[in-house]
Amino acid sequence: MNKSCGITEDNFKGNIYIGEVNINRSYSISMFQVILLVMTTIGLKNHVFVLPPLIQTAKKDSWMSVLLAVLITTGLLFMLMAVNKKTGGENIFQWLLTRVNKWFVFVLMWLVIFGLFLMGAVTLRETVTWINISQLPETPRLVTALLLGFVSFSLANTNLRSITIINQFLLFFVVLFGFFVAIVNLQYKDYSLLLPVFEHGYRPILKGIIFPMSGFAELFLLLILQHRIKDSFKFRHLVITVLILAGLTLGPLTGAIIEFGLVEAEKFRFPAYEEWELVSIGYFIEHIFFFVIYQWLTGTFIRLAIILFFIKDLLSLFKKYGKYIYFFIFIVIEIFTLYPLNDFAYAKLLFYWELPLIAVLFTGLSIIFFVIVIISSRKDRRVRF
CATH superfamily of 6-90+113-376: Hydantoin permease (1.10.4160.10)
Give rounded-to-5 percent helix, strand, coil for the chain: 80, 5, 20
HSE (CB half, 13 Å, CA atoms) of 290?
1
Q: How far apart are CA 23 and CA 373, in angstroms?
A: 23
CA torsion angle 246 251 253 259 (round to 10): 170
Q: Render each residue's pLDDT in the chain as its tens digit; 385 residues.
A: 444 444 443 443 333 333 433 445 447 899 999 999 999 999 999 999 999 999 999 999 999 999 999 999 999 999 999 999 999 989 999 999 988 899 999 999 999 999 999 999 999 999 999 999 888 889 999 999 999 999 999 999 999 999 999 999 999 999 999 999 999 899 889 999 998 899 889 999 999 999 999 999 999 999 999 999 988 888 999 999 999 999 999 999 999 999 999 999 999 989 988 888 888 777 777 777 788 899 999 999 999 999 999 999 999 888 778 889 999 999 999 999 999 888 888 988 999 899 999 999 999 999 999 999 999 877 665 544 3
Residues 6+ apart with CB under 8 A from 230: 25, 28, 29, 30, 31
Q: How far apart are CA 85 and CA 114, in angstroms?
A: 26
- φ, ψ for residue 186 (rounded to 5)? -55, -30
> Pick from 306, 331, 11: which is nearest to 158 by CA?
306
Helices 62-87/235-260 angle, 10° precision: 160
HSE (CB half, 13 Å, CA atoms) of 379?
9
Question: What pLDDT shows up at residue 160?
Answer: 93
